[in-house]
Chain A
Amino acid sequence: MTVASSLQAVTKEYPGGVVALRNLSIEVGEGEHLAVVGPSGSGKTTLLTVMGTLERPTRGGVHVIGYDVGHASDRELAGLRAHALGFVFQGFHLQEAITAVDNVALGLLYTGQPLRQRREAARAALERVGLDHRLTHRPPMLSGGERQRVAIARAIVKQPRLILADEPTGNLDSKASAEVVGLLHGLASDGATLVLITHDGAIARGFDRRIQMRDGEIVSDERQ
């Protein structure tokens, strides 16, 4: 199996003595759809940010798509995020002053592509998430589910190899949640790896693999 992301004995401590991850090891295969569940403060988000190269571990080894995060420079990791990683957040993080297309085009900004090309790709991505009728709308004019779909389009516009979603349904009602999760499964079906944090058991059941976390450790790891 080719590995999309692997953590070997990773410990992450924050200043003040908070230990978010304790000697945690996990390998996520390429194309795998992994759900991470667990109570708040169990280290789910930290796991995601370490996998997403946004944070380096205090101890232990992290490899993402073959890159040794511990030994890569800020530039290399940024390149990795720009080209191969897609993030989806609970709070959407959309720019309110610009249109849906431009928000999605932002997903390609740091690849250095010219704006016209980015917008073209953004329109295609918005079409894929079913928002081709909302191209020029600004985020305040969109519903919660639509906003999250714009954020998903922004994450997948670069055709990432690894999609990392941190409670993407946390701010949505159950109907919109089901749509968003279905969309993520569908988008990641072409070989991309999907790691999604949720505390909704029903959502987690739709995944090939589920891990449960508590106090910075993995307490269960089940596959379908």
Chain B
Amino acid sequence: MSATTVTPRPRDEIASARLPVSQLIGTALQGPRARRLRAALSALGIAIGIGAMVAVVGVSASAQANLLAEIDALGTNLLTVTPGQTFVGANEVLPDTSVPMIEHMQQVDSDVAVYQVPSANVYRSPLVPQSETGGIGVDATADNLPEVLGTSMASGHFLDAVGDRYPEVVLGAQAAGVLQITDRPGGHVMVYLGNSWFTVVGILKPVLLDSSLDSDAFISLPVAERMFQTQPNPSEIYVRANVNAVNRVSGLLAASTDPQQPDGVQVSRPSDALEARAAAKGQFTTLLLGLGAVALLVGMIGIANIMVISVLERRGEIGLRRALGATKRHIWAQFLAESALLAVLGGLGGLLLGAGATALYAQAKHEPFVIPLYALIAAPAAGLVIGAIAGLYPAMKAARLSPTEALRAT
């Protein structure tokens, strides 16, 4: 053997090994493609976790959108005037001049007063024991109450000119339920109200802006004054302000209602409370989100597990790739990308699952179908992060494999 000297060559003669991102993605797709069922099952774990979270977020958002739409339809220009509380706790009384005072205000579109009839209760018949009131209160009011409150009749009609003279009653939705009067009142349904028989002429739909009215029975003020000596001091006044002047009207209402004692008058805007409730509805349940997170964690462990097995099974392939010129980093990137890809597919699948569940729910509840925009990005992004974390260890293991050992393995 001749002692030939090694001919030195410039280092840059041979280019370094390269794996552009497009080729990396193609390479990462190969593994799952060759083992489709396994890939689908491991992605399913992530899909269920993300699907659960998307559904929680979607259902909350749908419910919120629904409530906001309802509030919008009812109008946010309704104000209520009630007697405030004195220092000693007793209720102030609204002056009997309140209603004409308010009606004289500018920017007030309409208003209606409600007068409590404290001495009266409602029963199906005189045989019902006195104490079983069913929690139904009796209010005297005017004929425009449904209009001002933005509600309508479930059946029958509201109090009218006839009701001003004769004992007629309209029931709130809940009150009708308590009395078990659900049929359309045809003039034959009577209730026993404060020692007299009253004809039920109508049943109201639920009043969203003030649900306390649902458990009341309404009679006309002239009848209440005549039969129960009701004082003309309103217990509550509902005011529709001009849409553009709600705040101004709200600020002036107390002084207009009771110029002598404006502090004894409380003014509120029911839509504010409802909007707060809508916002609360939009806050998804932490518990459900937590369950989704647990499912996601299990899915992540599933992917990590599959990747570890995959690395062991594919030692031959890893050795071959190293022989073909892959650096350790290329191998690492391939397995990491494969894991991330599985989880991203899982995330997209979860998005579809969650959206489907939300759509079904929204349809069943007749609510608008809403998926928050951020969920569209967050679902696959969460998959990407989870997949990357799950793939970190298996990818490291794959990169560290000695190529010759890997080649010998098969």
Contacts and interface: CB of A to CB of B under 8 A. Distances in A.
Interface stretch (B47-55, B292-300, B323-331, B357-365): B323-331
Interface stretch (B13-21, B139-147, B214-222): B13-21
B24 to A, nearest CB: 10
B211 interface: no
Contacts of A55: 402-404
B30 interface: yes
A95 B34 CA distance: 9
B4 A1 contact: yes
A43 interface: no
A27 B22 CA distance: 40
Contact of A111 (B1, B6, B18, B320): B18
B317 interface: yes
Interface size class, chain B: 35 or more
A54 B402 CA distance: 8
Interface string B353-393: 00000000000000000000000000000000000000000
Contacts of A106: 324
B226 to A, nearest CB: 92
Contact of B325 (A46, A79, A115): A79
A87 B323 contact: yes
Contact of B20 (A52, A82, A95, A112): A112
Interface in A155-171: none
Chain A interface, >50% SS class = mixed
Interface in B278-301: none
Interface string A20-39: 00000111010000000000
A87 B143 CA distance: 96
A27 B14 CA distance: 21
B35 to A, nearest CB: 8
A63 B328 CA distance: 21
Interface of A: 1-3, 6, 25-27, 29, 45-46, 49, 52, 54-55, 63, 65-67, 74-76, 78-85, 87, 89, 91, 93, 95-98, 106-107, 109-112, 114-115, 154, 221
State the 4 A-B residue pairs at the shortest beta-carbon distance, nearest first: A82-B325, A112-B18, A66-B9, A97-B34
Interface of B: 1-2, 4, 6-9, 11, 13-20, 22-23, 26-27, 30, 33-34, 316-317, 319-330, 402-404, 407-408, 410
Given A54-B407, A89-B407, 6 more contacts: A78-B327, A97-B34, A110-B321, A110-B326, A112-B17, A112-B20
23 contacts: A2-B7, A6-B6, A52-B323, A54-B319, A55-B402, A75-B16, A78-B326, A79-B16, A79-B17, A80-B14, A85-B323, A93-B320, A95-B30, A96-B34, A106-B324, A107-B324, A110-B17, A110-B18, A110-B324, A110-B330, A111-B15, A112-B18, A114-B22
